[in-house]
Structure 1
Amino acid sequence: MSDPRFVPRDYADEWDGFGKVWDINWMSNPRNELDRTRIAAALIQHRFSYVIRRKAKVKHGSVSAYAKDVGTPYDHLSKVLRGEAILRLEVIAQAERHLGGIQEEVARMSGHLADHTQPALIQNELEQQ
């Protein structure tokens, strides 16, 4: 039986850019529907991670300083932002409270201000790669 653990950055071709650069390529040959769903989830996490990382550096000087200021263990936050652990809604909510404008920035950078989690929009972006 395969390992069911979902590691978002495993679905990026350029895993070292996960959460660090905006445009990265994703798994080009998904094996099944589960892979396609996980690529879409990884893309969402990647974008939120990128914006959180960038805003944390601007407002707090570094991700580690941000983690300390908000009372989050740096090692876990770092894993989440690198795509080694799954991004939880609490991380997004905390970033919204302390950094502000996370969702709006993700939507703006994605090229639309509509709901950036719409499956059709994500699928369209993945197909354009």
Structure 2
Amino acid sequence: MANRITSERNGQVGFWVSKPGKNVLTAGPDDLLFDATSKMVQVVASGTLTNVSHDSPRTVTGPSLGYRPFVWAYSNHPTAFPRMEYLSNTQYRFRSASGFDSINIFYLVLNVPWQP
């Protein structure tokens, strides 16, 4: 049976948990369920776009992380969910839902890769 939980690994003190069947002391990053040395979810960019409509989208340039980050957006209107599309790993286009004009969109760019 493999060691799955440890509080010391490679000379570091912390907390690590490996996947079933993987030895926590020798497991690579993809075989760890929890890694005390990994980055936590962080907001790497955020902003507010005012008076956004469906017909007049706004484009935002975010930081270059080397991957397409997860972007979360919400609006000041309870039923006007913002629409967002990736133009690249660093550019995102926002618009309001069809039929809603002049909403404010608030967005967060996280250090988590977007998974379709």
TM-score normalised according to structure 1 size: 0.22
TM-score normalised according to structure 2 size: 0.23
Which of structures 1 and 2 has the bigger CA Rg?
Answer: 2
